[in-house]
Structure 1
């Protein structure tokens, strides 16, 4: 029962963080400029870097949260239920990424209207979105990766393999080992 509770709490906390991350992403990410035409909005500059920048800011925001959540999840799961927390980090990271996308698209805090200099063309900020779907996996991959890296470091530090021969020097003290005795 405690495993299920740890899993659910981890997923819910990461989901709540995803909503906050969506607001942050909406503030940071640039919008592509659109021009209003008779047929509807049209991308003003097809070679704009705003689409790539939005993907980059999404990766930065969710990746930073993935690193922090992985480290915090590891430190809180030292009580002996790490499997539930790791699964919660994976599922919660996916949920957090989806909520970041949904909230970031809905909020529009960083959007500003732009007027082109010297022309009567009015540019409007386009919708915020993710064009590279791979960035959706930044949060869960980094969270689980940090968790396993910290677990590996701690496992090696506590391992008896780190100190072979039970921590004893196989040749004894250096003063009793003399090359001339051979």
Structure 2
């Protein structure tokens, strides 16, 4: 029982660490939307900007790619403790996605370039990163558990006696 708990905890903590690093990567790669400072507060300077959608897209690409990588590594490394690793991928993926969102929206990394056609005397500032499509938060856990299951299904089929139902000899490969 102790080994299963350890496998679960190591999986969750590893994914949480990757989530913090992914937040820094998301903060460094994603463009910021330009905001205009007015008497009422900050207002979106360019309503046709694609920066808000780009933040969702970069988040999905980063967390989805890491989810696939974690699912593959989890399957290859955690063959002895399948259930704790799958549960760790699910819980750790949710935690990692939340940490990615928190770190990425809190920390600003890299040169933030804001381009907007503003009249003279108007102050333009970069906006904070935020998600407008909250559904991308499930990319990490969904892809990691799904890829783990795909690899296990392919492996199970390859070793299955049902693959040769009539007693045919196995392939030499």
- By the TM > 0.5 criterion, same fold? yes
The CA distance in 1 between the partners of 2:118 and 2:18, in whole Å, is 43
The reply on whether 1:4 has 2:9 as its aligned counterpart is no
The equivalent residue for 1:173 is none
The equivalent residue for 1:175 is none
Given that residues 45 and 116 in structure 2 are in contact (C-alpha distance below 8 angstroms), is that contact kept between their aligned partners in structure 1? no
The CA distance in 1 between the partners of 2:110 and 2:156, in whole Å, is 45
Unaligned runs of 5+ in 1: 170-182
The equivalent residue for 1:96 is 96
Distance 1:51 1:115, change over 3 A: closer
Q: Please, what is the CA RMSD of the aligned residues?
A: 1.7
Deviation per residue, 1:26-78 (Å, 9 max, x gap): 01111111000111111112232111100000000000000000000000112
Alpha-carbon distance, 1:165 to partner: 2.3
The reply on whether 1:14 has 2:11 as its aligned counterpart is no
Deviates more, 1:40-49 or 1:148-157: 40-49
The equivalent residue for 1:31 is 32
Equivalenced residue count is: 168
Alpha-carbon distance, 1:118 to partner: 7.1
The CA distance in 2 between the partners of 1:146 and 1:24, in whole Å, is 23
Which of the pair is proportionally richer in helix? 1
What secondary structure, in the 3-state scheme, does the structure 2 residue paired with 1:137 have?
A: helix
What secondary structure, in the 3-state scheme, does the structure 1 residue paired with 2:48 have?
A: coil
The CA distance in 1 between the partners of 2:123 and 2:113, in whole Å, is 8
Q: What is the TM-score with the length of structure 2 in the denominator?
A: 0.92
Q: Following TM superposition, where does structure 1 have runs of at least 4 consecutive aligned residues deviating by more than 3 angstroms?
A: 113-118
What secondary structure, in the 3-state scheme, does the structure 2 residue paired with 1:166 have?
A: coil
The CA distance in 2 between the partners of 1:129 and 1:23, in whole Å, is 14
The reply on whether 1:87 has 2:92 as its aligned counterpart is no
**Structure with greater Cα Rg:** 1
Q: What is the TM-score with the length of structure 1 in the denominator?
A: 0.87
